[in-house]
Amino acid sequence: MEYTNLGRSGLSVSRLCLGTMNFGPETDESTSHEIMDLALDNGINFFDTANVYGWGENRGRTEQIIGNWFAKGGQRREKTVLATKVYGDMGSWPNQGRLSALNIRRACDASLARLKTDYIDLYQMHHIDRNTPWEEIWQAMEVLVTQGKILYVGSSNFAGWHIAQAQASAHKRNFVGLISEQSIYNLITRDIEREVIPAAKHYGLGIIPWSPLSGGLLGGVLDKQNKGGSRRFEGRSKQILEQKHDQIKEYEDFCKKLGQSPADVALSWILAQDSVTAPIIGPRTKEQLQGTLSVLDFKLDKDSLKALDSIFPGHRTAPEDYAW
């Protein structure tokens, strides 16, 4: 396993991040524990979750599963760099969501209880809260740091100018501020290249891409459909598949020429991108995780990276991408 620092921090994390969103809704607790054990055994020390995972009436269930795994001992907690998130509504009553100082305090305490730990390594804001001033947010985060309940703060789904706002406000308080940004990023969806990645580079934030396989569309979907083994895609994924069918076909043909699986090529591409710390992989089974580990065995050369950019063109830094 390869390791790198998360952004400008001294925190060392694996180049693959274990996403846990399927734990509970798709994967039972026993299998979830086996997946986390397998991840640690293979050197993956970076785990990502959120207080809302489990969804609906089961919000918080994923954190509970992780907490029960930590409770088994064996230095599971000590070996894990734990990232969770705050923002989503955990109930229907006022102040049970978003980023008020009150909710940040309550949500953190509730996550700690579910996770059966006394600290969170990376506490991420799951979404921007346009109704709460940064002074209030940073004051609440500073209190949690002082109390030892969190060590670092990250963002998720922020725009470039949100990152700039956050860091300017943190700087006034002589506070470290953000060390990471978690965004959707893959060969198909490359919007963050315009301003989010440049902002992250400027402020020293590590990029943690979610959905690196675009919800499975970069995992050999057309080949699987031809063999009758692909799941049905609905909603936005179905629309993207229809719109990008020819590009995805060209992509899968290119992967065959390379002799590599489409999933490995997509992950290898994103690992080669500037400022990317670790893409989030979200296995539902041990076999899926084991198959993903092979991505670390090869790296795409410059010609292959250029070919992929021609299939799925990206964006230059704003405003050059849309102006002279």
Q: Cis before residue 319, ω within 30 degrees of 0?
A: yes
Residues in the chain: 324
Measured in whole angstroms, the distance separating CA 37 from the mean position of its chain's CA atoms is 20
Residue 84 near residue 154 (C-beta atoms within 8 A): no
Residue 27 near residue 285 (C-beta atoms within 8 A): yes
Say which DSSP state 42 is in. T
For helices 61-70 and 29-41, what crossing angle results, to 10°?
60
Residue 185 known to be catalytic: no
Q: Pick the catalytic residue: 53, 123, 152, 251?
A: 53
Amino acid letter, residue 67: G
| Alpha-helical runs (H) found in the chain | 29-41, 61-70, 76-79, 101-115, 134-147, 160-172, 196-203, 221-226, 235-243, 245-258, 262-271, 286-292, 302-311
Contacts of 278 (CB under 8 A, 6+ apart): 4, 13, 14, 15, 16, 17, 46, 206, 208
Rounded CA separation 309/102 (Å): 45
Residues with a known catalytic role: 53
